[in-house]
Amino acid sequence: MAFSITILGNSSAKPTLNAHPSAQVVNLNEQYYLVDAGEGVQQQLIRRGINPLRLRAVFISHLHGDHCFGLFPLISTLGLMGKQTPLDVYAPAPMGEILDYHLRYFDSDLPFEVKWHEVRTTEHCIVMENSTLEVWSIPLRHRVPTAGYLFKEKQPGLNVDKFKITKYGLSIAQVVAAKRGEDITLEDGTTIANEELTYIPYEARSYAYLSDTAFSAKAAERVRGVDLLYHEATYSKSEEQWAKGRGHSTTTEAAKVATKAEAGRLIIGHFSSRYKDYDALVEECRTIFPNTYIAAEGETFKIEEKRNR
């Protein structure tokens, strides 16, 4: 089952010639979710070979323009493309009011419904759930109410060992019962413990998006053990006071969050326009958390399955 993140934009608020503001796409088994929607996001989707019609939902971290201004033209584009299914938008208040104005004055005759779901930025809770995925809100520390998001793949169901099926002569009904987690009683009265017959095919995977935020130990705790962590690194370590005053993080603070969270990998982005070369920024992170990478535009980060057999 595919689980990947494609970077559409990695810059902060001030526009640049060579970078786009924050936007990413999470793909879990060909189900696509947009995370933040900076300006030009619909062109970035097309440029990266992602059909905007495949988006199931949009998650907005906060109501600063470089994270949400692209949502409104995206909605219009989806209307022009003939989208029929609803688009769910998860975002802090007052995004519902803002969407109402946009729909009233610019997109009053859309062929699909836009559904806003309020994300309470002080709560760590499930904001969306389906058969394969949970999305959790992560309270962050920024100048306006802000939430990060934790995408958690649901634990797969039990598989029954084929060798054990043959060894014990299990019937179809017994195999189904074992998959439900039940112990199995054979015709001779012997009971076989479920754990002897079954195994979990792979471990559930996870991705966390933490932007924008000052250093937060609580956020690190809430994403502990995450396979892949995105954390903003707007400034270099020499700009710590400037970062603190703006509600942002430095490279080394991002690396400390990754360390505390025991993350598998760290990707950094939301870079200030003052930086033309990101290599020095990633190297600062690697002095603390070696498994750090740049959230380069157009790059796709895959979270591979960890098979148990």
Cα 15 to chain centroid, rounded: 24
For the chain, give percent helix, strand, coil, nearest 5. Answer: 30, 30, 40
CB 114 within 8 A of CB 89: yes
Known catalytic residue at 212: no
Name residues whose C-beta falls within 8 Å of residue 239's C-beta, 6 or more positions apart in sequence.
Answer: 250
Strand locations in 73-132, DSSP E?
Answer: 87-91, 114-118, 126-129
CA distance 233 to 295: 10
Encoded amino acid at 118, one letter: E
Name residues whose C-beta falls within 8 Å of residue 2's C-beta, 6 or more positions apart in sequence.
Answer: 27, 28, 29, 30, 302
Of these residues, 66, 88, 212, 227, which one is catalytic?
A: 66
CA distance 68 to 38: 5
CA distance 273 to 141: 22
Token output for 39: 């300006």
Strand locations in 54-97, DSSP E?
Answer: 55-59, 87-91
- CA torsion 229-216-96-39 (nearest 10°) is -50
Active site residues per annotation: 66
